[in-house]
Structure 1
Amino acid sequence: MQEWARELGFSQIGVAGVDLSAAEPGLAAWLEQGFHGDMHYMASHGMKRARPAELVPGTVSVITARMDYLPRDTARDAPGGWQAAELSRLQRPHEGIVSVYARGRDYHKVLRARLQKLSDRIAEAIGPFGHRVFTDSAPVLEAELAARSGQGWRGKHTLVLNREAGSMFFLGEIYVDIALPQSEPVTPHCGSCSACIDICPTQAIVAPHRVDARRCISYLTIEHAGPIPVELRPLMGNRIYGCDDCQLICPWNKFAQVSRLPDFDERKGLSGQQLAHLFAWDEATFLRMTEGGPIRRIGHERWLRNVAVALGNALRATGDGALRAALQSRAEDASALVREHVGWALDAA
Structure 2
Amino acid sequence: MNTKESHTKFIKSEAARLGFLSCGISKSGFLEAEAPRLEQWLENNHHGQMAYMENHFDKRLNPNLLVDGAKSVVSLLLNYYPSQTQTAETYKISKYAYGQDYHFVIKDKLKELLESIRQNIGEVSGRAFVDSAPVLDKAWAAKSGLGWIGKNSNLITKSVGSYYFIAELILDLALDYDAPTTDHCGSCTACIDACPTQAIIAPYVVDGSKCISYLTIELKDNIPLQMKGKLDDWVFGCDVCQEVCPWNRFSKAHQEPLFEPHSDLLSMTKKDWQEITADTFQKVFKNSAVKRTKFEGLKRNIDFLGS
The interval holding the TM-score normalised by the smaller chain is over 0.9
Instruction: State the SS of the aligned residue for 1:263.
Output: helix
Corresponding position of 1:24: 35
1:287-312 Cα distance to aligned partner (Å, 9 max, x none): 2221111001111110100111222x
* Partner residue of 2:51 out of 40, 57, 62: 40
Is residue 236 of structure 1 aligned with residue 247 of structure 2?
no
1:62-141 pair list within 5 angstroms:
62-71=73-82, 73-74=83-84, 89=88, 92=89, 95-141=90-136
Query: Once the 2 structures are TM-superposed, how far is the Cα of residue 55 of structure 1 from its aligned partner?
Result: 2.4
Instruction: Report the residue type matching 2:69 in the other structure.
Output: G
Query: Once the 2 structures are TM-superposed, how far is the Cα of residue 272 of structure 1 from its aligned partner?
Result: 4.2
Q: Which structure has the larger Rg over C-alpha atoms?
A: 1
Structure 2: how far apart are the matches of 1:245 and 1:134?
27
Question: Is the 1:21–1:51 contact (alpha carbons within 8 Å) kept by the matching residues of 2?
Answer: no
The total of aligned residue pairs comes to 296
Structure 2: how far apart are the matches of 1:272 and 1:184?
44
User: Which structure dedicates a bigger proportion of its chain to helix?
Assistant: 1
Query: Once the 2 structures are TM-superposed, how far is the Cα of residue 278 of structure 1 from its aligned partner?
Result: 2.0
Q: What percentage of aligned pairs have identical amino acids?
A: 39
Corresponding position of 1:5: 15
Instruction: State the SS of the aligned residue for 1:235.
Output: coil
Deviates more, 1:18-27 or 1:141-150: 18-27
Structure 2: how far apart are the matches of 1:272 and 1:31?
40
| TM-score of the pair, normalised by structure 1 | 0.82
Is residue 245 of structure 1 aligned with residue 240 of structure 2?
yes
* Partner residue of 1:297 out of 262, 282, 292: 292
Query: Once the 2 structures are TM-superposed, how far is the Cα of residue 280 of structure 1 from its aligned partner?
Result: 2.2
| TM-score of the pair, normalised by structure 2 | 0.93
Corresponding position of 2:270: 275
Runs of 4+ in 1 over 6 A off after TM superposition: none
1:203-255 Cα distance to aligned partner (Å, 9 max, x none): 00001111001110011101111110100121013111111010000000011
1:166-315 pair list within 5 angstroms:
166-311=161-306
Question: Is the 1:98–1:271 contact (alpha carbons within 8 Å) kept by the matching residues of 2?
Answer: no
Deviates more, 1:24-33 or 1:172-181: 172-181
Structure 1: how far apart are the matches of 2:245 and 2:12?
28
Question: Unaligned stretches of 5+ in structure 1?
Answer: 76-85, 312-344
Instruction: State the SS of the aligned residue for 2:230.
Output: helix
Question: Is the 2:67–2:172 contact (alpha carbons within 8 Å) kept by the matching residues of 1?
Answer: no
1:253-298 Cα distance to aligned partner (Å, 9 max, x none): 0111221211112222223412232232232332222111100111
Query: Once the 2 structures are TM-superposed, how far is the Cα of residue 61 of structure 1 from its aligned partner?
Result: 1.1
Instruction: Report the residue type matching 1:140 in the other structure.
Output: V
Corresponding position of 1:150: 145
Instruction: Report the residue type matching 1:205 in the other structure.
Output: I
Question: Is the 2:145–2:178 contact (alpha carbons within 8 Å) kept by the matching residues of 1?
Answer: yes
Question: Unaligned stretches of 5+ in structure 2?
Answer: 1-10
Structure 2: how far apart are the matches of 1:128 and 1:59?
14
